[in-house]
């Protein structure tokens, strides 16, 4: 990282854990952070812990999500939740048999993730940093009234809303997860000052079943939404050509004040939850392209969040090898 970059502490989000067999497991963060520390890319002096951010995150959650949904998340966060709350869980996307099952402490754990993304936004927008990375963030599928796709509260949308309200900045949101960034898109679908760009596997074959080219925004936000819907088995060259051209054109026309990006790494060929056949090359090139756009159009202001990626034992070692680092056995 550069001297003007900060890494947001993720310790408060370690409780975001559905169950041991669930693919969205905090071991993903531990493996990545170990790799970065051992490779010398994670200097402790550049960590920031969100100060007094929990209350601000609570307020952001209540502004963004429906009150009956937040109340249900709170009730289901108890060690032994009320049976009435359990009966309501399915209606809010939190059923025990769904992809986002409720678990003890989930409200506090997700609030910490929201707090981290708000802190990243403030670090960049206040001028104390040019870039901020919050690896635990990027819960882009959550909706105002329900959880979806492993996401309970939408920290990306919370950070963007915070930037709009506090700083009045125009935001370019770039989503590189293999799954369409649907939650963020729909939050800002009518907002002309938030441009959402998502590259993903086509919804014809993959969750969440959206993100098609005709989704372009609505009302005054028409034209501020761009979806790159890629066919299964797409490889590096096609993926990067589409992404690079779309990003360059969107940034040139929209001219953002800041870029917020979501960096799922599940378009990798080894990922078990998708069908794209890219390598680690795209995860070097896409951040480089985003940084160039930030330098050109937003005075370097760039907030990067994490995302999906579910083949831990192949992708993380390959990332290390790609960076020229000899991997050692990792201990937890």
Q: How far apart are CA 163 and CA 287, in angstroms?
A: 21
Q: What angle do CA 326, 328, 331 make, to 5 degrees?
A: 150
3-state secondary structure of 7: strand
Q: Between β-strands 47-48 and 131-134, what pairing exists: parallel, antiparallel or unpaired?
A: unpaired
230 membership: H or E segment, kind and range: strand 225-230
Q: What is the side-by-side strand order in the sheet with 47-48?
A: 47-48, 5-8, 131-134, 302-305, 258-262, 171-175, 194-201, 225-230
Residues in the chain: 332
Q: Please name the residue that has the structure tokens 């799954």.
A: 179
Q: Which of 4, 5, 13 is nearest to 32 (CA)?
A: 13
Residue 19 annotated to the active site: no
Cβ 173 vs Cβ 225: under 8 Å: no
Catalytic position from the list 65, 140, 141, 162: 141
Q: Which of 152, 166, 144 is nearest to 114 (CA)?
A: 152
Return the active site residues.
141
């Amino acid at each position: 990282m550069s001297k003007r970059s900060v890494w947001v502490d993720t310790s408060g989000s370690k409780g975001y854990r559905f169950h041991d067999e669930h693919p969205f497991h905090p071991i993903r963060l531990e493996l990545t952070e170990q790799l970065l520390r051992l490779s010398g890319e994670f200097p402790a002096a550049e960590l920031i812990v969100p100060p007094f951010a929990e209350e601000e995150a609570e307020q952001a959650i209540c502004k963004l999500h429906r009150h009956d949904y937040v109340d249900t998340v709170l009730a289901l966060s108890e060690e032994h939740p009320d049976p009435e709350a359990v009966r309501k869980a399915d209606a809010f996307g939190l059923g025990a048999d769904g992809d986002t099952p409720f678990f003890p402490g989930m409200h506090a754990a997700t609030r910490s993730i929201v707090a981290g993304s708000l802190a990243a936004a403030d670090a960049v927008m206040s001028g104390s940093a040019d870039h901020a990375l919050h690896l635990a963030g990027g819960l882009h599928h959550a909706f105002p009234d329900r959880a979806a796709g492993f996401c309970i509260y939408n920290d990306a949308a919370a950070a963007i809303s915070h930037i709009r309200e506090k700083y009045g900045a125009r935001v370019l949101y770039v989503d590189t997860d293999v799954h369409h960034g649907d939650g963020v898109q729909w939050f800002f679908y009518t907002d002309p000052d938030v441009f959402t760009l998502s590259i993903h596997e086509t919804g014809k074959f993959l969750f969440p079943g959206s993100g098609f080219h005709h989704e372009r925004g609505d009302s005054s936000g028409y034209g501020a939404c761009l979806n790159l819907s890629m066919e299964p088995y797409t490889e590096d060259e096609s993926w990067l050509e589409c992404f690079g051209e779309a990003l360059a054109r969107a940034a040139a026309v929209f001219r953002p004040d800041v870029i917020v990006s979501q960096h799922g790494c599940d378009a990798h060929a080894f990922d078990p939850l998708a069908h794209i056949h890219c390598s680690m090359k795209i995860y070097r090139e896409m951040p480089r392209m985003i940084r160039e756009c930030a330098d050109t159009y937003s005075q370097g202001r760039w907030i990067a969040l994490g995302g999906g990626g579910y083949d831990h034992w192949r992708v993380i070692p390959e990332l290390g090898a790609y960076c020229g680092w000899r991997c050692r056995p990792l201990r937890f």
